[in-house]
A and B are shown apart, each in its own frame.
Chain A
């Protein structure tokens, strides 16, 4: 009995240590963001700010970094992410319905293609895409960037969503068809409401992909007022590498929304990623 209790304490203790180690970097980011400068550069760092301050957030939010207001970058990032979510979500819904509901020639080819393109390195594709966008005069424009993001978000979105579509019993649609509903009406009244939770999870994933993206935005955008948040952060970091207070405040503002979204969908995302491998 005693050894069992000891085992439980050891396990839970290890669990707490893993938890603390995992959140430490993010915790340290947020804690630094609220520290006054003398505490940030103190020779004996303390976990929590002794005299919390909002001065760094004030600097970041009120145009103190890179002359353009934080909200302009925020708006660029948000618009890109929302457009990516809407368009790739629609594409995913259509394609996931096709692969989950129909047997057709090239279906397997299509699925393998989805797997392959998720692995193609964007670090390599950035070179030809730069030239293509330049030719189309879409360089240094948010629409050009949005097109690229849609292309990179869609394959995973389809892969994830097809599981949700397949989980809806076919009989429901058949019954609707028997009741006289056409395919389009069946889609909207039967399939769509049932796939909605999956669509939300997929959308959040696409949102995060676009929100976090760095290399394309960094390469394609030139005008500072078109920068997205990660580019703004990198730019600011490169220019004033030691202003850790404002840098951490800006990092916090960039990171919090993603972490919230992520925690909302974590379970579905994992099952979407590894569903096949674990279904046994």
Chain B
């Protein structure tokens, strides 16, 4: 019944909240509440991670898909991978892409965040909603849109680059095929991923700036600190915890980028594979699936990401997020 609500509203005066509030509840309560989640996570996340670890040392192919037991091959999958220059090429792509995309995302995102903070309230909301559109776009659509923007016939980027003077951008942009070489394909991928990822950085930075007491800035101004110095000695230290989280999350997201690259370049374009595409293509890409091999590559990916995740968890625990 609703008549409990008015009585409830008077309550805060009677009793102050304390951390150690003796209340008799069944001890099992919280465990029952989290039980469904724990079961689902155990079945859908932990068990598969263990399976990756097991399959990475097995040969799993068509025969196993028909139900035959898997063949133990020891470290053969890893030996094959580590000897293969192609693996190192995909790893190089993965790391370089993450490096470039993360840096660009953070720089562009932070600049937009700072701008949003400086703008008036209505203008800031307007620009923020525009930036959000990029974040909201589904990855598949984003990849397709950028394939179209950078397309050869009717692509607006080639058209624009051909219009610009040659001394600025060089010539030969008419019908330039961006997806012909890994470097140009990754350029498109970077633009696409940065476009989608920097809104999150911008809005987080904005939230951090908004939470900052304005007295700090006034004090700095009174003390004669210029804008450059204020930025480095006040804004940056206060944003540091946010940056830590953003850097780690961006590394994780960009390291495993899959959908955009898959849609843009596809499985046929082996030259531009990254780790996750390589793992996928080994596991599902041919009529002779090598799920063990795919698992071995996926395990490399997972281990790298878990190391980064450990860093993330450490930062979050330090910031009191798990309290």
A contact set with B: CB distance below 8 Å: 11-12, 14-16, 18-20, 22-23, 25-26, 28-29, 32, 40-45, 91-92, 94-95, 97-99, 101-104, 107-108, 110-113, 115-117, 119-121, 123-132, 134, 147-148, 150-152, 154-155, 158, 169-179, 181, 183, 189-190, 208, 211-212, 214-215, 219, 230, 233-234, 237-238, 242, 244, 247-248, 251, 254-255, 258-259, 261-263, 266, 270-271, 273-274, 276-280
Contacts and interface: CB of A to CB of B under 8 A. Distances in A.
A12 B9 CA distance: 45
Nearest to A218: B262
B291 to A, nearest CB: 6
Nearest to A262: B136
A29 B141 CA distance: 9
B37 A125 contact: no
A124 B298 contact: yes
Interface string B108-139: 00001001101110011011111111111111
A263 B208 contact: no
A277 B315 CA distance: 10
Contacts of B156: 28, 45
22 contacts: A12-B120, A15-B115, A15-B127, A22-B199, A23-B130, A23-B133, A25-B134, A25-B142, A95-B36, A99-B34, A110-B34, A111-B321, A119-B309, A124-B52, A127-B279, A155-B41, A170-B21, A175-B11, A179-B7, A212-B140, A214-B263, A278-B210
Chain A residues touching B, majority SS: helix
B214 interface: no
Pairs A-B, 6 closest by C-beta atoms: A151-B44, A262-B136, A124-B298, A175-B11, A128-B51, A98-B33
Given A175-B4, A238-B266, A233 B141 contact: yes
Contact of A125 (B30, B48, B141, B321): B48
A124 B302 contact: yes
Nearest to B53: A128
B138 A255 contact: yes
Contacts, number: 338
A277 B208 contact: yes
Interface of B: 1-2, 4-5, 7-12, 14-15, 17, 19, 21, 23, 25, 29-31, 33-34, 36-38, 40-41, 43-45, 47-49, 51-52, 55, 60, 65, 112, 115-116, 118-120, 123-124, 126-142, 144-149, 151, 153-154, 156, 159, 195, 199-200, 203-204, 207-208, 210-212, 238, 241-242, 245, 252, 256, 258-259, 262-263, 266, 276, 279-280, 283-284, 291, 294-295, 298-299, 301-302, 305-306, 308-309, 312-313, 316-317, 319-322
Given A261-B136, A277-B241, 9 more contacts: A94-B37, A95-B37, A115-B313, A152-B44, A155-B37, A171-B14, A175-B7, A214-B262, A215-B280
Nearest to B242: A277
Nearest to B277: A123
Given A125-B48, A151-B45, A212 B7 contact: no
B144 A119 contact: no
A154 B139 CA distance: 20
A12 B119 contact: yes
Contact of A124 (B44, B301, B316): B301
A129 B139 CA distance: 22
A120 B44 CA distance: 11
B136 A263 contact: yes
Contact of A154 (B40, B154, B266): B40
Contacts of B132: 262-263, 266
Given A125-B49, A208-B136, A277 B41 contact: no
B154 A42 contact: yes
Nearest to B207: A278
B12 A189 contact: no
A98 B129 contact: no
Contacts of A127: 52, 55, 279, 283-284, 291, 294-295, 298
Given A127-B55, A151-B41, A151-B44, A120 B49 contact: yes
Given A29-B141, A110-B38, A127-B291, A119 B245 contact: no
Contacts of A128: 47-49, 51-52, 55, 295
A116 B252 CA distance: 11
B15 A171 contact: yes
Contacts of B148: 28-29, 32, 244, 247-248
